Amino acid sequence: MKMLALVPILLLTQVSYFDMQGTIVNVLSPTSLQIDGETVNLVGVDPSGITPGQYLYLISDLKDWLTGKDVFVKGGYVYFDLVGSYNSVSINEMIQKEIQDLRDDLAYYYY
């Protein structure tokens, strides 16, 4: 019974590690998210080297994928809120991976 009483404390301790917690309401750019009315600039995301068409594809994909998701923010890094826990891979890293995939597939995207 005493262990059950510790669960909420552990979750609160983990959440307090972050600067903020909220919901993504808009994707302003691949490097900038609007979370509960605040703009968060993402560290380590570089969309240079993709075509304008790829950029539009990326923004559309990110808006579909991220809008409405609950997240934690630490510095310029954003993590999915997995019901009081978080994924160790940041959204920053996921976006940068998608950008790199677009760069690698440049021959496929001529627009």
* pLDDT tens per residue, range 15-34: 578 999 999 999 999 999 99
- Evaluate whether residue 111 is within a structural domain: no
- Report the DSSP pairing between strands 32-35 and 20-29: antiparallel
Assign 2 a pLDDT band (cuts: 50, 70, 90).
very low
Check pLDDT > 80 for residue 67. Answer: yes
Q: Give the pLDDT score at 107.
A: 57
- Evaluate whether residue 25 is within a structural domain: yes
Instruction: Assess contact for 106 and 51: CB atoms under 8 A.
Output: yes
Q: Report the percent of the chain where pLDDT is more than 70.
A: 81
The whole-angstrom separation of Cα 18 and Cα 35 is 14
- Evaluate whether residue 41 is within a structural domain: yes
Q: 76 is in which domain, residue-wise?
A: 2-104
- Evaluate whether residue 110 is within a structural domain: no
Q: Tell me how many domains the chain contains.
A: 1
- Evaluate whether residue 48 is within a structural domain: yes
Q: Give the pLDDT score at 7.
A: 43
- Evaluate whether residue 109 is within a structural domain: no
Q: Is 23 helix (H, G, I), strand (E, B) or coil?
A: strand
Mean pLDDT of 73-77: 96
Assign 106 a pLDDT band (cuts: 50, 70, 90).
low
pTM of structure: 0.80
